[in-house]
């Protein structure tokens, strides 16, 4: 079983090691303190490196936990309007299926239907990539700023974590 780190803010497991981004994090890495990123609450924190033996764990490039979903959405920007299905959703963006032609770096206003009896969640997003898998959007503001989207993502994340420690320092599960 792989090692897991507990986030000191939300107390859920699944935080992953990320690359140092600041001079402070680079200096901390010299004394075996490395940056971690929580996929649940997006908290970035420093913690002890898990071990000095063996190769370091691979760096996770993805910042946010993806949640597979099937939600209807409509989008518009400039002269382009389209509809599609959200295939996966995270606090940083989403991937949709749509027949509408879009281009990388186009900016759109998305309306995502998270519940049939509610008004759609509105969010601005930029096209990151277009592939056979779908259109990848990056939200221009973090989902934490949209309370309804944040609530939806957190309620569907299906975390299997439990609170293992009340300590502020990350706990390692062997």
From 44, 39, 66, select the one nearest 138 (Cα to Cα): 66
Q: Where in the chain is the domain with CATH 2.40.10.220?
A: 67-156
Q: Which residue has the higher pLDDT, 81 or 2?
A: 81
Instruction: Tell me the CB-side half-sphere exposure of residue 164, using CA atoms within 13 A.
Output: 15
Q: What's the CA angle centered on 88, arms 47 and 36, to 5 degrees? A: 5
- CA atoms in the 13 A half-sphere facing the CB of 112: 31
CA gap 2, 17 in Å, rounded = 13
What value does the mean pLDDT take over residues 96-117? 93
Percentage with pLDDT > 90 across the chain: 30
Token readout for 87 is 């295939």
Classify the phi-psi angles of 42: left when phi > 0, otherwise alpha if psi is within -120 to 50, otherwise beta: left
Q: Give yes or no for residue 2 having a pLDDT over 90.
A: no
Structural class in CATH, domain 67-156: mainly beta
Nearest 5°: the CA angle 53, 62, 51 is 10
Note if the pTM is more than 0.85.
no
What is the distance between the alpha carbons of residues 138 and 135, in angstroms, rounded to a whole number? 10
Query: 144: how many CB neighbours lie within 10 A of its CB?
Result: 12
Q: Give the per-residue pLDDT at 164.
A: 25
């Amino acid at each position: 079983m792989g090692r897991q780190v507990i986030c000191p803010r939300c107390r859920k497991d699944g935080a992953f090691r990320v690359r140092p981004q600041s001079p402070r994090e680079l200096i901390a890495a010299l004394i075996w303190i490395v940056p971690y990123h929580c996929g649940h609450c997006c908290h970035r924190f420093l913690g002890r490196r898990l071990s000095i033996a063996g190769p370091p764990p691979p760096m996770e490039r993805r910042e946010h936990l993806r949640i597979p979903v099937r939600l209807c959405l409509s989008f518009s920007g400039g002269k382009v309007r389209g509809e599609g299905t959200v295939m996966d959703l995270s606090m940083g963006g989403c991937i949709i299926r749509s027949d509408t032609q879009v281009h990388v770096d186009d900016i759109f206003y998305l309306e995502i239907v998270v519940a049939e009896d509610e008004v759609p969640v509105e969010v601005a997003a930029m096209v990151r990539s277009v592939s056979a898998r779908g259109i990848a959007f990056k939200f221009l503001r973090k989902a934490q700023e949209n309370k309804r989207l944040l609530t939806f993502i957190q309620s569907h994340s299906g975390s299997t974590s439990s609170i293992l420690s009340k300590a502020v320092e990350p706990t390692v599960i062997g």
